[in-house]
Amino acid sequence: MADHMEATTNGPSSTVNGENGEEMTSKDYYFDSYAHFGIHEEMLKDEVRTLTYRNSIYHNKHLFKGKVVLDVGCGTGILCMFAAKAGAAKVIGIECSGIIDHARKIIESNKLDKNIVLVKGKVEEVELPDGIEKVDIIISEWMGYCLFYESMLQTVLYARDKWLAPDGMIFPDRATLYVTAIEDRQYKDEKINWWDNVYGFDMSTIRKVAISEPLVDVVDPKQPLFHIIDPKQPLFDIIDPKQPLFDIIDPKQIVTTPCLVKPLFHIIEPKQ
């Protein structure tokens, strides 16, 4: 994202590389990928994640009523609107990308602009509007692939230390990462063994490289899996939302289950 974005709460629409969020070119999107609606469409259509946030907020309206709420990385403003609907007195959304131009219009279209104020810029650089120094609740959709992919956790913790009231809350304040090993013979043949015979030629030298690279893919939930590592045992757990980032990611805190690790792509046959 562009480093020169200025924080603003009202006034003209923000710009990125001199362009309004609605007039950005593909070149601008390269430097500000979160300005494009497509990535937000993908996240909003993740119903499991979005509905979990909505239910968590709506089922705890007594915690949000009359409170000041901060949304770190507000995107299209969906969590801001959930918080406002839950009765928050003031909701502040901070967003660094050009999508904030659309978020402002979305909030106005839903007649929630009296309760929600958006600030453009980085958490580390902006100040809260209207003289607000502390917030009661911080909400953020910071999780990415494998929990940490989007690297938003450090920003959320920075906001926590900077603005969260002593008795404040974070939604969510706990995350658990699990690991398990699986076997997929067909996938192995398509991605690894395929290099042994490519149109009659031996390209197995690439096979050695291919097998060393991690593959990221979606596993069909209907596909049977045979667990090597107990999936109920957390590999990583954020317990105390007030502990420093470096304590949270301390590898010494990782909990594992003793297990026998078989060779990569070893076939695990179910017992008959």
Which amino acids are annotated catalytic?
141, 150
Point out which residues pair with 119 in neighbouring strands. 94
